[in-house]
């Protein structure tokens, strides 16, 4: 009986230690998230993560004023004016064919308020990075554009 | 119209000879065997021409030439018929050969029909005329009819056998608690309902069992990036891997979402079972996908938990769900 109680106490100590480690880890993650968000607030560029099929996985930082939650699953080319959609598709094809790891282009993007602005976009193939596994789209607003 | 002129200067013997020749040629034309209709018509036309020539006002020695030509035409025609019959016989023999082979392949029950077909084939080799071939055709018809009857009998037998097997499967399913109708389409594993039935069976059976819950990491993230088909493939591959590693007495089920549950019938202590599961899931389960010509490697891992099935099934169900819920927050898109 006493051996069992000893074993149980040992197990409880192990679990308490494990729990303490997890709490510390959780605190680190929380702090890193806060730091990341703070850095983003002061950043003028936008970041969107997409799948290889061009569908938006997550808008990390948007610049169009459109609700980010509504954009999940929407193909990226649908966010640019129809005349520039083929350009977006072609850039993704180039990335997937591995002719380059990064490609930049300019496209006209309608904002939530109806105005059309010119964006400079850079696509980076990060499909092989196990922490990202996607194509990262970074963009900066170049200002209003005539269609 | 009958011409009398040609009879005027002729002796009685010559007249009889001419009539005999005419009669002979007529018989040539009418008594010939019909094999190929076109050849037969051509032959008749040749004989009619010779007969017309013989009936005309020609000398007696000219008659001999006509008889010679007619005999030659008959010989040629007969050779054609023989060739035609051989051709047909060979064709039928090959058909019978093929049928015999097919019958033999179909099964032992048809050996009687096969033997009969072989006999027909042998007799066909000896067939020398059209009558023989017609008789063979009739025998072949009989044989085919019995073959058809045998096939129908076998079909009925097979249907009965399938029925028996289905009943047997149902009975086994009830005995083991597994229900293959409840297979999850993505992983092809038995579903949560089947798992609960199996757990009830294990508790009722009183055998020492453990429940291992495994939650595949990042499935939501894989679905969002590569589509749900890719997520399903990851789960399917994971299920396949775990099933291969488990003991034959263990059973694996798809619980819900990215979770699978294994029911392990073991006598070892909990720590040993935990060690086995830990070792099993240390393996590299990465999967490679082809997406628009680009191959992408997706690392696959799982969080897991093992506990003994010593309480009620509803408690075990709660423990499984609690563990799955604790893993849900880790799977961010």
pLDDT of A71 higher than 60: yes
The SS3 of residue B206 is coil
Q: Do A128 and B296 touch (CB under 8 A)?
A: yes
What pLDDT score does B111 carry? 67
What pLDDT score does B129 carry? 63
What pLDDT score does B3 carry? 47
pLDDT (tens digit, 9 = 90+) per residue, B147-168? 778 778 888 888 888 888 777 7
- Residue B284 near chain A (CB below 8 Å): no
What pLDDT score does B2 carry? 43
Tokens of A131: 């922490």
* Cβ atoms of B296 and B289 closer than 8 Å: yes
Tokens of B33: 């065997």
CA-to-CA dists, residue B208 to A48, B267, B275, angstroms:
51, 6, 17
Distance in Å from the first CA to the final CA of chain B: 111
Please list the residues that pair with B291 across neighbouring strands: B294
Nearest CA to A98 among A123, A71, A115? A123
CB pairs under 8 A between A and B: 41
Q: Do A52 and B293 touch (CB under 8 A)?
A: no
For residue A53, the distance in angstroms to the closest alpha carbon of chain B comes to 8
Which of B62-71, B166-175, B298-307 is predicted least confidently? B166-175
Q: What angle do CA B11, B15, B16 make, to 5 degrees?
A: 115
- Residue B270 near chain A (CB below 8 Å): no
B52's enclosing H/E stretch is: helix B37-55
Nearest CA to B323 among B257, B268, B245? B257
Report the 10 Å Cβ neighbour count for A145. Answer: 15
- Taking CB atoms and an 8 Å cutoff, what residues of chain A touch B297? 128
Q: How confident is the model at residue A121 (pLDDT cuts 50, 70, 90)?
A: very high
Q: Which residue from A58, A97, A134 is facing B293, i.e. has the nearest CB? A: A97
Which of A109-123, B72-86, B89-103, B265-279 is predicted least confidently? B89-103
Q: Do B294 and A58 touch (CB under 8 A)?
A: no
For residue A47, the distance in angstroms to the closest alpha carbon of chain B comes to 15
What pLDDT score does B179 carry? 54
Search chain B and give the residue with CA nearest A133.
B225
- The mean per-residue pLDDT over the stretch B286-304 comes to 87
CA-to-CA dists, residue B128 to B43, B135, B142, angstroms:
22, 12, 21
What pLDDT score does B327 carry? 85
Q: Which residue from A58, A98, A128 is facing B297, i.e. has the nearest CB? A: A128
Q: Which of B219, B292, B329, B330 to mutate to test the interface with A (most CBs of A within 10 A)?
A: B292
Q: Do B221 and A52 touch (CB under 8 A)?
A: no
Q: Which residue from A51, A93, A98 is facing B225, i.e. has the nearest CB? A: A51
Q: Which of A127, A128, A130, A137 to mutate to test the interface with B (most CBs of B within 10 A)?
A: A127
- The mean per-residue pLDDT over the stretch A71-83 comes to 95
Question: Structure pTM?
Answer: 0.57
Q: Dihedral, CA atoms, B323, B328, B331, B333, nearest 10 degrees? A: 170
Q: Report phi then psi at B246, rounded to 5.
A: -75, 160
- Taking CB atoms and an 8 Å cutoff, what residues of chain A touch B291? 52-53, 96
Q: Across all residues in chain B, what is the average pLDDT? A: 81
Q: How confident is the model at residue A146 (pLDDT cuts 50, 70, 90)?
A: low
pLDDT of B320 higher than 50: yes
- The mean per-residue pLDDT over the stretch B84-100 comes to 75
pLDDT (tens digit, 9 = 90+) per residue, B42-70? 888 888 888 888 888 777 778 888 888 88
Q: What angle do CA B288, B291, B294 make, to 5 degrees?
A: 80
Search chain A and give the residue with CA nearest B298.
A130
Q: State the complex-level ipTM.
A: 0.76
Nearest CA to B212 among B305, B313, B308? B305
Q: DSSP 3-state helix, strand, coil percentages of chain A (rounded to 5)?
A: 45, 30, 25
Cα separation, B206 vs B197, whole angstroms: 14
pLDDT of B7 higher than 70: no
Q: Do A133 and B296 touch (CB under 8 A)?
A: yes
Specify the higher pLDDT residue, A119 or B295: A119
Q: Which residue from B226, B293, B299 is facing A130, i.e. has the nearest CB? A: B299
């Amino acid at each position: 009986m006493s051996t069992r109680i000893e074993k149980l106490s040992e197990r409880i100590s192990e679990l308490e230690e494990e729990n303490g480690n997890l709490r510390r880890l959780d605190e680190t993650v929380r702090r890193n998230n806060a730091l990341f968000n703070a850095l983003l607030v002061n950043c003028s560029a936008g970041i969107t993560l997409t799948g290889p099929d061009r569908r938006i996985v997550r808008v990390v930082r948007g610049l169009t004023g459109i609700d980010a939650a509504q954009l999940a699953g929407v193909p990226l080319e649908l966010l640019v004016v129809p005349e520039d959609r083929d350009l977006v598709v072609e850039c993704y094809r180039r990335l997937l064919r591995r002719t380059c790891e990064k490609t930049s282009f300019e496209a006209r993007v309608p904002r939530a308020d109806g105005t059309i602005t010119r964006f400079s976009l850079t696509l980076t193939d990060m499909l092989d990075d196990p922490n990202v596994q996607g194509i990262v789209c970074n963009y900066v607003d170049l200002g209003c554009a005539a269609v | 119209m009958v011409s009398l002129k040609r009879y005027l200067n002729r002796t009685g013997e010559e007249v009889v000879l001419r009539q005999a020749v005419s009669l002979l040629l007529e018989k040539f034309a009418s008594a010939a065997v019909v094999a190929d209709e076109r050849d037969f018509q051509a032959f008749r036309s040749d004989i009619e021409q010779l007969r017309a020539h013989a009936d005309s006002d020609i000398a007696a020695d000219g008659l001999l030439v006509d008889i010679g030509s007619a005999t030659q035409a008959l010989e040629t025609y007969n050779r054609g018929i023989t060739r035609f019959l051989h051709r047909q016989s060979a064709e039928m023999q090959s058909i019978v050969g093929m049928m015999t082979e097919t019958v033999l392949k179909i099964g032992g029950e048809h050996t009687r029909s096969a033997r009969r077909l072989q006999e027909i084939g042998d007799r066909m080799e000896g067939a020398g005329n059209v009558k023989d071939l017609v008789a063979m055709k009739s025998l072949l018809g009989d044989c085919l009819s019995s073959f058809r009857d045998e096939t129908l009998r076998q079909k009925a037998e097979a249907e009965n056998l399938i029925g028996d097997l289905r009943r047997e499967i149902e009975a086994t399913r009830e005995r083991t608690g597994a229900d293959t109708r409840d297979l999850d389409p993505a992983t092809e594993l038995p579903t949560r309902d089947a798992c609960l039935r199996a757990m009830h069976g294990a508790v009722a059976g009183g055998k020492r069992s453990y429940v291992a819950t495994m939650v595949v990491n990042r499935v939501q993230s894989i679905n969002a990036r590569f589509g749900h088909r890719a997520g399903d493939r990851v789960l399917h591959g994971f299920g396949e891997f775990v099933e291969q590693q488990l003991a034959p007495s263990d059973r694996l089920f798809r619980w819900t979402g990215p979770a699978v549950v294994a029911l392990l019938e073991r006598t070892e202590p909990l720590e040993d079972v935990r060690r086995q599961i830990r070792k099993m899931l240390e393996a590299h389960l990465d999967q490679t996908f082809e997406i628009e010509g680009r191959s992408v490697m997706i690392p696959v891992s799982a969080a897991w938990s093992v506990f003994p099935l010593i309480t009620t099934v509803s408690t075990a169900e709660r423990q499984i769900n609690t563990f799955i819920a604790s893993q849900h927050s880790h799977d961010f898109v």
